[in-house]
Chains A and B, each alone.
Chain A
Amino acid sequence: AQSVAQPEDQVNVAEGNPLTVKCTYSVSGNPYLFWYVQYPNRGLQFLLKYITGDNLVKGSYGFEAEFNKSQTSFHLKKPSALVSDSALYFCAVRGVIGFQKLVFGTGTRLLVSP
């Protein structure tokens, strides 16, 4: 069965600095990988996804993520953090074979300080 690990419960970064939110996955075969963001009292919003092709995926709000197959990672990055980026970030994975659920990580809270 597929699984996702987000090793950091919280990431703190100063505004203007680069940010990284880590994600590693386990799946049989090739993965489909997603990042979602959740603001307080809101549903999850799609940020970006990796399906195939270029390992660097660009998404909404200036976020990007790099797929690394050898390290089974899909870290979320942004060159310059904004205070408004403060939210809960979820990584999710599903395998490409058959009907498989989208499995979410436990989430990482990003706090961007002014």
Chain B
Amino acid sequence: DAGVIQSPRHEVTEMGQEVTLRCKPISGHNSLFWYRQTMMRGLELLIYFNNNVPIDDSGMPEDRFSAKMPNASFSTLKIQPSEPRDSAVYFCASSPGLAGVLQETQYFGPGTRLLVL
């Protein structure tokens, strides 16, 4: 089992540029989560999908952020335009059950370390 796969692992970009982060969940998992981790704010849930449908995007900081899940094996998180305050580690996680099955364990990817200059 390859686990959750994220790419790229590191991204350095300049303010104003578009950034796209990618995630491949564990095969067979029905729920996918995007998190952001910073020293100041800790680990924050940005959005989660169930069966490819966005269920809760209330954590998305602003309209510059968007996320898609076109199929069960792929999701993207896009920032356009990027700003220095978006610098963080972005994690993708997946879980095997439905979003309503609340005791399901989430499995995290290795993260994408984003630096916006």
Contacts and interface: CB of A to CB of B under 8 A. Distances in A.
Interface residues of B, number: 21
Given A44-B91, A99-B55, A104 B43 contact: yes
11 contacts: A36-B108, A42-B110, A42-B111, A44-B91, A44-B93, A95-B102, A99-B100, A101-B45, A101-B48, A101-B59, A104-B42
Interface string A24-52: 00000000101010000111111001010
B26 interface: no
A1 B21 CA distance: 29
Given A99-B55, A106-B42, A43 B102 contact: no
A101 B56 contact: yes
A100 B102 contact: yes
Nearest to A106: B42
Given A99-B100, A107-B42, A44 B108 contact: yes
Contacts of B42: 104-107
Contacts of A11: none
B109 interface: yes
B71 interface: no
Interface residues of A, number: 23
B43 A43 contact: no
Contact of B91 (A41, A43, A94, A105): A43
Interface in A66-95: 90, 94-95
A96 B43 contact: no
B102 A96 contact: yes
B99 A99 contact: yes
A41 B110 CA distance: 7
Given A43-B4, A99-B56, A49 B110 contact: no
Contacts of A42: 110-111
